[in-house]
């Protein structure tokens, strides 16, 4: 699109002494009509005049300044979105997602076989009363437990995809560390608010924490100055996915999913705001990842100690 500058008359039209000035030139009919509709909605009369150089958009001389302002605002608002996020290569985040999957499969296998003579579900599930009484590690151990193969596979697929997306933004170590903390925080929130007999298992709380992290990071990295509700599209998309995937079906813990999403949103906002002060390169990613593994292992060691 070409926009005529102030004082530049390109192909003037005159009618009954009124001068019409070209304020824009477009290569196609559709784009020209869209911009004309913008001006009409703003109360500016328009004319479209085809030529060899494209389709000219004309307005009266008295409306020219306002028309240029409206066209520029429309073009700015509808320009392609750029996030400014430097995404890490897929190969750099795959290993951590595979480790996540292996850990969940291994724990599920031990649950089904009562490995080492331990009732893994009993010692690891997120029982609200026990968490309130001090067994905080259950908020972490419950993330590795699944009632059936379908539940396990769905969390492996969804968690792996979302985890890799988060890791591409903040790095694999920091990403999975934040997801683990978000999932644990979600279970802690539910334990505090739910009745004492409430119990839960599954990585889905961490999966929705990953979704919240991703939405908050996407919101923060937006470079386009979206106005009104359009700016909050990442959050809206996360809530829609929660409504689509996290509130229906049998044995679905809606409260845990909502709490996980909320914890992820808060964590993602904190990561975005603290990004100038949080190291994300080199050995720091290994440190974050090792810390996440250590926290998960410690939680299970404490659970086994009570077996």
DSSP 8-class letter at 8: -
pLDDT digits (tens, 9 = 90+) for 65-106: 898 998 888 887 776 555 456 789 999 999 999 999 999 999
Residue 22 φ/ψ region, left for φ over 0, alpha for ψ in the -120 to 50 degree band, beta for the rest: beta
Q: Which of 104, 252, 263, 298 is nearest to 192 (CA)?
A: 263
| The pLDDT of residue 136 | 96
| The pLDDT of residue 80 | 57
Mean pLDDT of the chain: 88
Helix (H) or strand (E) holding 200: strand 199-200
Residue 126, token pair as written in the block: 């997120």
| The pLDDT of residue 220 | 86
Residue 251, token pair as written in the block: 């044995």
> For each successive 10 residues of the chain (307 residues), what is the average pLDDT?
44 63 88 90 89 87 88 79 71 95 97 92 96 96 94 95 96 97 97 93 96 93 63 86 77 88 96 91 93 97 91
pTM: 0.73
In angstroms, how far is CA 52 from the centroid of its own chain? 45
Coil, strand or helix at 41: helix
Domains defined along the chain, listed by start: 13-77 (3.30.70.1530), 90-305 (1.20.1540.10)
Q: Which residues pair with 22 in a beta bridge?
A: 58
- Rounded Cα gap, residues 37 and 35, in angstroms: 5
- Rounded Cα gap, residues 188 and 175, in angstroms: 20
- Rounded Cα gap, residues 31 and 80, in angstroms: 15
- Rounded Cα gap, residues 74 and 60, in angstroms: 19
- Rounded Cα gap, residues 254 and 248, in angstroms: 8
- Biggest alpha carbon distance in the chain? 97
């Amino acid at each position: 699109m070409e926009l005529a500058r102030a004082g530049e008359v390109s192909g003037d039209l005159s009618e009954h002494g009124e001068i019409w000035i070209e304020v824009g030139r477009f290569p196609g009919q559709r784009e020209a009509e869209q911009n004309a509709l913008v001006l009409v909605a703003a109360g500016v009369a328009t004319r479209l005049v085809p030529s060899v150089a494209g389709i000219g958009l004309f307005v009266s001389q008295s409306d020219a300044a306002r028309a240029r302002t409206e066209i520029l605002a429309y073009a700015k608002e509808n320009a392609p979105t750029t996030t400014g996020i430097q995404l890490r290569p897929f190969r750099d985040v795959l290993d951590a997602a595979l480790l996540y999957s292996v850990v969940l499969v291994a724990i599920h296998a031990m649950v089904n076989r009562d490995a080492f003579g331990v009732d893994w579900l009993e010692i690891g599930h997120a029982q609200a009363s026990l968490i309130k009484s001090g067994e905080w590690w259950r908020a972490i151990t419950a993330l590795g437990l699944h009632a059936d193969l379908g539940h396990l596979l769905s969390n492996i697929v969804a968690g792996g995809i979302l985890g890799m997306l988060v890791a591409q933004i903040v790095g694999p170590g920091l990403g999975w560390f934040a997801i683990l903390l978000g999932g644990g925080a979600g279970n802690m929130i539910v334990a505090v608010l739910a009745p004492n007999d409430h119990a839960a298992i599954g990585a889905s709380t961490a999966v929705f924490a990953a979704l919240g992290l991703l939405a908050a990071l996407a919101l923060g990295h937006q470079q386009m100055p979206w106005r009104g509700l359009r700016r909050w599209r990442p959050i809206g998309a996360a809530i829609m996915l929660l409504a689509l995937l996290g509130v229906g079906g049998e044995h679905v813990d809606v409260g845990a999913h909502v709490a996980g999403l909320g914890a992820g949103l808060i964590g993602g906002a904190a990561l975005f705001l603290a990004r100038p002060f949080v190291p994300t390169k080199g050995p720091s990613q290994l440190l974050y990842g090792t810390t996440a593994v250590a926290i998960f292992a410690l939680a299970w060691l404490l659970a086994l100690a009570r077996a």
